[in-house]
Amino acid sequence: MEQLVGNTNLTLVDSQVEIYELHDTQELNITTTEQTKSELVIRLVENTNVNCRIALAPYSELHILFDNETKQANINVVADVKRGASIRLGMYELSESTVKEQVLVNLLDQEAKAKVISTSISSTSKDFDIECIHHAPNTSSDMNNFEISDAGANYTLRACGTIKKGAVGSKSHQMSRILTTSENQISKATPVLLIDENDVMASHANSMGKMDDQHLYYLTSRGMDEKQAKELLTLSYLLPISEVFDNEDIRSDYINKVRSRVGL
């Protein structure tokens, strides 16, 4: 694990797999080079405000996860994705912080792709604003958001897919699932599609509510007690974050992290 201190510019090389710890960094610029693939974990340890600008060179691939461990954070990520490049961007927010996270992905050229996954457990105020803008034809985006709102949560999500004029053949999909575990919480989700072109595909799905009694019945009818069944159902909201990575070590590290978080 490498520690980053002060404002930093990172240029990634092929097959780079790295975990960075951010301390007082406020400006972080990440650049990929053409036809490379890299995977990064950015762990926020004591920052409160981080602006991250990511530039994906043509035909490069970046898998990047922001893992917040601070008490209060304001994270702002802007990614520009060039021709044929693809980004998998994860926002992992299981801290007890008050956070505001903004993600903007610009799909600038043909065949640019983005997958954004956010996973959060809230018992404080958490605000997510995630947007993928299709500027060019045949670009695709997929946003998956998972939230568990515990007592005291004030969770807000705005997920927006924007297809600009001229971005024919583009695909913008989003799915958000919010599990509420208490009556004493507020959760709001606003799925948005702004489409200014024909011949495109777009969809949004959003579910919000407590655990399904029939799901619990099915699991308990196989012998798990209610606590175990609830843990397994909770896990289903958290495990997708591991899909950000191809690297087996990091992937299993996050699988283990979420498992231990729900007590499995």
What is the length of the chain? 264
Using CB under 8 A, pick the residue from 19, 45, 195, 224 that binds another protein. Answer: 224
Using CB under 8 A, pick the residue from 225, 246, 252, 256 that binds another protein. Answer: 225
Of the ranges 48-56, 74-82, 165-173, 222-230, which one interacts with another protein (CB under 8 A)? 222-230
According to the binding rule CB under 8 A, does residue 156 interact with another protein?
A: no
Q: Report the residue number, 17 or 239, with the smaller CB distance to another protein.
A: 239
Using CB under 8 A, pick the residue from 169, 220, 251, 261 that binds another protein. Answer: 220
**C-beta separation of 191 from 161 below 8 A:** no
**Smallest separation (angstroms) from another protein to the CB of 216:** 8
The Cα 262–Cα 69 span in angstroms is 17
Alpha carbons within 13 angstroms on the beta-carbon side of residue 257 total 18
The Cα 228–Cα 42 span in angstroms is 32
**Smallest separation (angstroms) from another protein to the CB of 230:** 12
How far lies 72's CA from each of 15, 100, 101, 128, in Å?
33, 9, 11, 14
According to the binding rule CB under 8 A, does residue 221 interact with another protein?
A: yes
**Smallest separation (angstroms) from another protein to the CB of 204:** 16
Question: In the sheet where 8-11 sits, what is the strand order?
Answer: 8-11, 27-31, 49-56, 72-81, 98-107, 125-134, 154-163, 186-195
Q: Report the residue number, 183 or 222, with the smaller CB distance to another protein.
A: 222
According to the binding rule CB under 8 A, does residue 177 interact with another protein?
A: yes
Letter for the amino acid at 215?
H
Binding site residues, another protein, CB under 8 A: 177, 212-215, 217-226, 228-229, 232-233, 235-237, 239-240, 264
